[in-house]
Amino acid sequence: MKYVIVGIGAITAGFVIGFLVRKYLGESRVAAAEATAKQLVTDAKRESQNLKREAQLEAKDKIHTMRAEAESDLKSRRSDLQKMERRLNKREESLEAQEGDAKKRKKSISSREEHLKSQESKLARAASEQKHLVEKVARMSTQEAKEHLLASVRNDVRGECALFVKEEESRAREEADKRARKIVSLAIQRCASDHVAETTVSVVMLPNDEMKGRIIGREGRNIRTFENLTGINLIIDDTPEAVILSSFDPIRREIARISLEKLINDGRIQPARIEEMYEKAKAEVENEIREAGEEAVFEVVIHNLNKELVRALGRLKYRTSYGQNVLMHSLEVAHLAGIMASELGLDPRVPKRAGLLHDIGKAIDHEVEGSHALIGADLAKRLGESKIICQAIEAHHGEVDVKTIEDVLIQAADAISAARPGARRETLDSYIKRLERLETLADSFDGVERSYAMQAGREIRIVVQADSVDDLMSATLARDIAKEIEDQLDYPGQIKITVIRETRVVEYAK
C-alpha cells in the first residue's frame, strides 16, 4: 500500500512538471512569433517606401521625356510655319510683280487702240477719195460699174461652175476623211485601258520548304488528289519556298491557287481537306466572276442586262487574247464606240451596250462549236437582247454583212482597241505553242511519266518511271530527246534536258 501511494504521488508530480514545461515553451514560441511579425511589418514598410521613391523617379523621367518631345514637336511646327511664311512672302512679291506687268500691258494696249482708231479714220478718208477718183477716171458711177462688172463676170462664172462643183466635192471628201480621223483619234485619246500579259502559271509562296513535303503527302496522295480535283499541274522543284501551278485555263488555275493558299494557311493538308478547300475556292471565284461582271456593267452604265450575260462578262476577266484581257478590251470597245457615236450626234447607249457584249461569245466558245461572234450573237438573242445589238455582235468580224451604223462603230472600235501598239502580243501565242510542242515531244518517249518546260523553254525536266527506266537508260533517254528536239524544233540558244529518276521505299514501324 505504501508503494502504491508513493507511485501515485510520483505520477501526479510528473503531470504537474510536464504542464509547467509546456506552458513555458508555448510562451517562448508566442514571443518569437510576435518578434517575427514585427520584423515583417518593418520590412514591408521599408519596401513600400522604396517602391514609392522608384515610382516618383520614373514619373519624373516620363515627364521629362514628354516635355522634351513636346518641345521638339513645337520646334518642328515653328520651323514649318516659318517656311510657310517665307513661301507666302515670295508668292506675294511675285503677285505684286505680275500686277505691275499687267498695268504696263494695259497702258500699252490702250495706246495701241488709239493708234489703230486713228489709222482706221485715215484709211476711211483715203478709200472715199480713191472712190471719187476712180469714178472720175472711168466716167461712170459706182452702180454702173457694178452692173458692167457683173455682166462680164456672169459668163465666166457659168463656165467655171462645173469645175468649182467638182473641186468642192473633192474638198468635201477630204474634210469627211479628216473629220473621221479626228473622231477616231479623239476617242482613242479619251479612252485608255490597261493591258496585261497572258500567263499560264501562278506562283504560290510557302512559309518554308517543309511545306512541300506536306503538299506531296504520303506516297504522293495529296498532290494526286489536288491535281485530279483542280485539273492543273502542281510543279514542286528546287525553287526555295515556292511552288508553281501550271494550266492554260485561267479560271481553273485561279481556283487551284486560292485552294492551295487556304490549305497552307490552315496547315491540315489531306484529301478530304483538299476537297473542302477546293469547293470554298470555287465559290469565291464564282463570286469574283459575278462582281467583275457587275462592275463592268456599272462602269459602262448599262441597265436591264440579263444575269447570265453579266456572269458571262465576269468570266471574260480570266480570258486573254494575245496578251490582251478580254474584259478590259470589251470595256475599251464600249467606251470607244460611245465616244464616236457622240461625236457623230448619235445616241451612245446602243453602241456602248453592243461594244461591251461584242466578245461575249469568248466566255463559252470552248463549250460550243463555231466562231465567238456567232456564238455571242446567239447567246445575246436567247437572253433577250435587241436585234440591233445581236446584229452588231454578229458582224463585228465581218462574218455577216454590215447593216447599221452601230455595226460600223463596233467594227472600228474593235479594230482600234486590238491594233493599238502594245495592246496585243502575237509572240506570246507562239511562245506558248513552242512550250506545248516541247512537252509533247518529251512525253512521246517510252518510260516518261511527266515533263515540264521551265525557264521560258530553256530547260525541260523529265520525270521517268523508276521501274521501267534504269540509270543507264536515263542517260540514253536524255540524249535521244535532245537529238529529237534538235531535229524537230526551232529555238534560240540551247535547251537543257534533265531526266529525274526517283525510287521510293516505304515501310512502317508498328
Residues 247 and 349 in one domain: no
Q: What is the pLDDT of residue 195?
A: 43
Instruction: Please give the grid coordinates belonging to residue 157.
Output: 462664172
How far is 284 from 281, CA to CA, in rounded Å? 5
Burial (CB count within 10 angstroms: exposed 0-12, middle 13-18, buried 19+), residue 242: middle
Residues 309 and 402 in one domain: yes
Domain assignment present for residue 137? The answer is: no
Residues 329 and 364 in one domain: yes
Residues 320 and 269 in one domain: no
Q: What is the pLDDT of residue 346?
A: 85
What DSSP string describes 394-433? HHTTSSS---SHHHHHHHHHHHHHHHSTTS--HHHHHHHH
Q: Which CATH number characterizes residue 335's domain?
A: 1.10.3210.10
Determine contact, residues 134/148, Cβ cutoff 8 Å. Answer: no
Q: Which domain holds residue 10?
A: 1-112
Beta-sheet strand order (sheet of 459-464):
448-454, 459-464, 496-501
Residues 367 and 392 in one domain: yes
Residues 420 and 444 in one domain: no
Q: What is the pLDDT of residue 425?
A: 45
Residues 48 and 4 in one domain: yes
Q: What is the pLDDT of residue 400?
A: 84
Residues 329 and 256 in one domain: no
Domain assignment present for residue 356? The answer is: yes
- Asked which of 389, 424, 459 is the last residue of a domain, the reply is 424
Residues 50-78 as b or e (16 or more Cβ within 10 Å = b): eeeeeeeeeeeeeeeeeeeeeeeeeeeee
Residues 322 and 308 in one domain: yes
Domain assignment present for residue 347? The answer is: yes
Question: Considering only CA atoms, which of 350, 364, 358 is closest in space to residue 415?
Answer: 358
Q: What is the DSSP letter of 469?
A: -
Helices H / strands E in the chain, number of each: 14, 8
Q: What is the pLDDT of residue 165?
A: 63
Domain assignment present for residue 131? The answer is: no
Domain assignment present for residue 154? The answer is: no
* Number of CB atoms found within 10 A of residue 371's CB: 13
pLDDT in tens, the chain (510 residues): 656 576 676 777 777 777 676 766 666 776 777 788 788 888 888 888 888 888 888 888 888 889 888 888 888 888 889 989 898 998 888 888 888 888 888 888 888 888 888 888 888 888 777 777 766 666 666 666 677 667 766 666 665 665 666 676 667 666 766 665 556 555 555 554 444 444 567 788 888 888 888 888 888 888 888 888 887 888 887 777 888 888 767 788 888 889 889 888 888 888 888 889 989 998 998 999 889 889 888 888 888 888 888 888 888 888 877 667 888 888 888 888 888 888 888 888 888 998 888 888 888 766 666 778 888 888 888 988 889 999 988 888 877 888 888 888 888 888 887 765 444 444 455 666 777 888 888 888 888 888 888 766 778 888 888 888 888 788 888 888 988 888 887 766 678 888 888 776 767 676
How far is 336 from 188, CA to CA, in rounded Å? 7
- Asked which of 52, 78, 112 is the last residue of a domain, the reply is 112
* Angle subtended by helix axes 271-300 and 349-357, to nearest 10: 160
Residues 265 and 314 in one domain: no
Q: Which CATH number characterizes residue 445's domain?
A: 3.30.300.30
Q: Which residue reads 466558245 in cell numbers? A: 365
Q: Cα separations (Å) of 29 from 16, 22, 26, 35, 104?
A: 20, 11, 5, 10, 112
* Residue 283 phi, psi (nearest 5): -65, -40
Strand-pairing partners, residue 453, are 460
Residues 236 and 322 in one domain: no
Residue type present at position 464: V
How far is 332 from 417, CA to CA, in rounded Å? 7
Domain assignment present for residue 174? The answer is: no
Domain assignment present for residue 173? The answer is: no
Domain assignment present for residue 157? The answer is: no
* Number of CB atoms found within 10 A of residue 187's CB: 22
Residue type present at position 319: R
Determine contact, residues 425/323, Cβ cutoff 8 Å. Answer: yes
Residues 339 and 395 in one domain: yes
- Asked which of 424, 457, 490 is the last residue of a domain, the reply is 424
Q: What is the DSSP letter of 397?
A: T
Domain total of the chain: 4
